[in-house]
Amino acid sequence: MRGLCKLVNWEKYGCEVVASAGDAISGAACVRKYRPDILFTDIRIPGVDGLAMVAGLKSEFPRMQITVLTGYREFDYAKRAISLGAARYLLKPSKMNEIDEAMLAMTEKLKRDAVMRNADEPETAKTEINSFIVNSALKYIDAHYAEKLTLSDVADRIYVSQWYLSKLLNRYTEKNFYDLVNAARIKRAKELLRDPALKIGDISDMVGFVDTSHFSRIFKKTENITPKEFRNTMG
């Protein structure tokens, strides 16, 4: 993307380059620092879920215009990226006229949004994008509940800020982050308690609780019985 900084006549569109980045993490940090109106990004980055990155950034910054430049030619992937908020999906090597068209489309969209915003501040974050973000977070929690998981860990993986992820989780699930993590842990604990060979203390460790007493308190809070009592009901 650094080469793109030199190729495009940014002044022609009333734009200037505020930052460039070589990886997804520093790129997301730059977005939050500078809050750009326009972003060019690749979507096939090692170790990165490109769709989650686009959805996360577009959800948190709904008016930001995103153009994807990539060598990934899968049509369904491109279609999904557009549905999650990308303004344009350009295949590498992109022709200059394609980049110019993308710039024109994005700047015109920003102008239209500015007019709408002055007349009546609309809700521009799409339900589909926000749902994608929440589902991505829940999937990550479900896969990593046994680890020492924090809100920051999950937010970093889906490219939104902690406060924004917390807001979305509360809105869509009516639960806070730690309640969701504990729910995933208790769900797995109930499965493990069916095995009489496993000690309750070991199960506590296996599902990510720091100690058995904390595990027992959370289990009773959610299930209204202790882990031992639950095991006894299995007969």
Domain ranges of the chain: 2-119, 127-233
Answer for the pair 81, 106: CB distance below 8 angstroms, yes or no: no
Confidence (pTM) = 0.74
Region of poorest pLDDT, from 33-37, 70-74, 94-98: 70-74
Degrees (nearest 5) of the Cα angle 77, 28, 180? 80
Mean pLDDT of the 55-65 span: 90
What is the pLDDT confidence band of residue 117, given thresholds at 50, 70 and 90? low
Answer for the pair 110, 66: CB distance below 8 angstroms, yes or no: no
Residue 123 has pLDDT above 60, yes or no: no
* Helix, strand or coil, per DSSP, at residue 35: coil
Alpha-carbon gap, residue 5 to 19, rounded angstroms: 9
Take residue 158 and report the two structure tokens written for it: 């889906």
Mean pLDDT of the 96-108 span: 93
pLDDT of residue 2: 63
Mean pLDDT of the 93-101 span: 90
The reply to whether domains 2-119 and 127-233 share a CATH topology is no
Best CA proximity match to 89, nearest among 80, 104, 177, 97: 80
Residue 120 has pLDDT above 50, yes or no: no
CATH class of 2-119: alpha beta
What would be the CATH architecture of the domain defined by 127-233? Orthogonal Bundle (1.10)
Answer for the pair 40, 13: CB distance below 8 angstroms, yes or no: no
- Average pLDDT over the chain, rounded to an integer: 88
pLDDT of residue 127: 80
pLDDT of residue 235: 63
Answer for the pair 136, 49: CB distance below 8 angstroms, yes or no: yes
pLDDT of residue 26: 83
Question: What residue has token string 């509940």?
Answer: 145
Q: Select the more confidently predicted residue: 96 or 117.
A: 96
Q: In this structure, what DSSP letter does residue 66 have? A: E
pLDDT of residue 223: 95
Q: Which residues pair with 89 in a beta bridge?
A: 68
